[in-house]
Amino acid sequence: MPLQRSNTADKFIVDRRKPHRNSDVARAVRKTRDRLSQQAGSLDFDRELLKLHARAMVSAVAIPLLVLAVAAIGRLAGLDSQIAIWALSTLLCYTIVAFMARRVERTEAAELDPAQTRRDFLIGHFLCGLGWAWFAWVGCDTCQVDQFHVAKAMVILVAMAMTAVLASSLGGALFATFAIPVAVYVYTVMRQWTPIEATMAALLIAALPFFGYVARHLNQASLMVLSFRSEKDALIAEVETAKSMSDEARRRAEDANLAKSRFLASMSHELRTPLNAILGFSEVMANEVLGPMNNPTYRDYAHDVHESGQHLLDLINEILDLSRIEAGRYQLNEEPVVLVTIVEDCCHMMELRARNKDIRVIQEFEETLPRLFADERAARQITLNLLSNSIKFTPSGGEVRVRVGWTAGGGQYISVKDNGPGIPEEEIPVVLSAFGQGSIAIKSAEQGTGLGLPIVQGLLAMHGGEFELHSKLREGTEAIAIFPLSRVMEELPALPTKTVAVARGRR
């Protein structure tokens, strides 16, 4: 993603002054929260249940098919035209309910009046119930159907079960539809009251509260589904919010990184120009190139100025190196290198400094190590940083042990171990962070930038390697730089001398 310049200076993560960047996300989050982040039993859940009931009624064809089947079987059984008129009137009632449901389904949930819509639905189901009451009243004096009242009871029982399932989202719909039909059926069979008819009447009376119980549990299941959907969409809203915040934070981080890069590029030029003069003139004065200095204090001041300028130059170089590594702009000049040779040269470079502190540098190198495909400058910088830290914190009379060898995975490693004061375990993450210094370094007032180990980590990461730091108080510290197996180059076998001579002779 290309870096973009930002003129914002506020401390908010979401940029309030850029509404075109945040308005879409904010609107979606607000709509989701307002619509679905509700508690069960609220008006919003009532509206959702009414919408579910409307969808069920629009797609419900089972009951109208049952009505048509009953009317067709009744005509075949010898019933008069009354059964056809009943079927048409009942289908008209269900059509009215379907049109009402279609209108509710097309209306936004927020625009529904739950009380009015519920009342309209119950009235529609009551009208359908009058149709079923008519069916319960229909007689069959001339038809050839035995146990006609039993057949009617079975039809009403099936219709009751279908309604309990389809209209479960609307509480009271089952009783509004079938309370009167069941009462009418019981009244019609009381005139004959045979055992089988009494049994069917009792079955219908018992089935009505049973199917009401089933409908109630289905209604609770629908509420639970709505609640789960609400929680899911609330989580989606939270994710969208976090995403918008992270996008804005990333944009601001990119802006800050661009500003940092520009600042470092500008300041490195602005600082190095006067530093060159400071270092050059202070060195001339300290070495008395143009003549002796009568006051020795001035000579000491010139040494101090030169050392301070050199320290500042090293700091600038390390900051630039670390910033390039973090930005992914550090270019590796990879070539076959001998790791032992590089480490040996670095040890010679640091030998004078170690001798001044009476520190022994012990070298333990494995022989016949193959070449490593790496950046020689980076490998030297890694080694010098590790050696510099060890010599800096090792007391006089101590020793620094440098080893180069194979890793267990077939790679190569550089190990620098000292017997200095060590680092507390809880301070190791601090030491590995940029500009981080442990308590030992602060107490001993050792001069340093706190960038050496982060640079080592970054350079090793660019090579695909790893960095390990092991330390214990009063026992010393061991820093290990590991290059992976993929960087180790295979040794090719030498060509036989005789074969080469024969080949030349044939030419």
Strand partners, 482: 413, 466
What is the pLDDT confidence band of residue 146, given thresholds at 50, 70 and 90? low
**Token digits of residue 437:** 């210094």
Contact of 423 with 394, CB cutoff 8 Å: no
Ramachandran area for residue 480 (φ above 0: left; ψ -120 to 50: alpha; else beta): beta
Burial of 192 (0-12, 13-18, 19+ CB in 10 A): exposed
When pLDDT is averaged across residues 307-321 and rounded to a whole number, the result is 77
C-alpha span between 226 and 301 (Å, rounded): 80
3-state helix/strand/coil string of 8-77: CCCCCCCCCCCHHHHHHHHHHHHHHHHHHCCCCCCHHHHHHHHHHHHHHHHHCCHHHHHHHHHHHHHHHC
- Give Cα separations from 409 to 165, 332, 372, 413, 486 (angstroms): 66, 24, 15, 11, 10
With 50 as the cut, is the pLDDT of residue 327 above it?
yes
Partner residues linked to 467 by β-bridges: 481
pLDDT tens, position by position, 246-266: 888 888 888 887 777 677 667
CA separation for the pair 11, 111 (Å, rounded): 40
pLDDT tens by residue, 175-203: 998 899 999 888 888 766 678 878 888 88
Q: Is the pLDDT of residue 440 over 70?
A: no
For 452-484, what is each residue's pLDDT tens digit? 888 888 889 988 999 999 988 888 899 999 999
Closest CA to 412 of 366, 454, 469: 366
pLDDT of residue 17: 45
The single residue listed with the structure tokens 């630039």 is 320
Residue 476: exposed, middle, or buried by beta-carbon count in 10 A (0-12, 13-18, 19+)? Answer: buried
* Predicted pLDDT at 310: 79
Confidence band for 401, pLDDT divided at 50, 70 and 90? very high
Predicted pLDDT at 495: 57
Does the pLDDT of residue 487 top 70, yes or no?
yes
CB 243 within 8 A of CB 25: yes
pLDDT on residue 476: 87
Task: Determine the Cα–Cα distance for residues 138 and 70; give it in Å rounded to an integer.
Answer: 12
First to last CA, the chain: 59
Determine contact, residues 6/251, Cβ cutoff 8 Å. Answer: yes
% of the chain with per-residue pLDDT over 90: 14
Over 70: is that where the pLDDT of 158 sits?
yes
